[in-house]
Amino acid sequence: MAKFHFKYEPIKRIKEQLEKKVQKEIAVINDLIEKNKEKIVSIRNEMFAKKVKYNAGAKAKELQFQKNYETYMLGLIENINLENAELEKEKSIKLKELLEKSKEKKILVKLEEKHLENFNKEENRIEAERVDEVATQSFIRGK
């Protein structure tokens, strides 16, 4: 029997590699988003701890420092939120790209399945012809 060879196999491999690359990029973006969320939680916890510390009998100068500190930290949180928004946009673009890559790969997989099915049908037809030929020769010899 002949061996099945899909003529678009190199293209299929490239499509799979591109799909994996996009998946990795999405994973990196997700990691960055999670790290930013952790930073925000850390900053909020630090702000709360400082607020509790300074509110216990604070002087006017310390209260002013606390206010400036909170303003600075809220600015940091806002910057992180803006960065997360950009990352979410990038993630959305990458997800669309991943969907497209998946569709392209799926098309090639379906094409390969169709080619394999046709190959198997042809192999079965050839095998049936061989069996018929052997049976005919046996019948002729038997007479």
Q: How far is 64 from 1, CA to CA, in rounded Å?
A: 86
User: What's phi and psi for 58, nearest 5 deg?
Assistant: -85, 150
By mean pLDDT, which of 17-21, 51-55, 66-70, 106-110 is the weakest?
A: 51-55
Q: What is the pLDDT of residue 58?
A: 66
Please count the CA atoms within 13 angstroms of the CA of 84 that sit on its side-chain side.
Answer: 15
- Give me the torsion for CA of 53, 56, 61, 66, rounded to 10°: 40
pLDDT digits (tens, 9 = 90+) for 92-116: 999 999 999 999 999 999 999 999 9
| Count, residues in the chain | 143
Full-model pTM:
0.76
Nearest to 15 by CA among 114, 112, 106, 110: 106
Nearest to 30 by CA among 112, 101, 90: 90
Q: How far is 10 from 138, CA to CA, in rounded Å?
A: 45
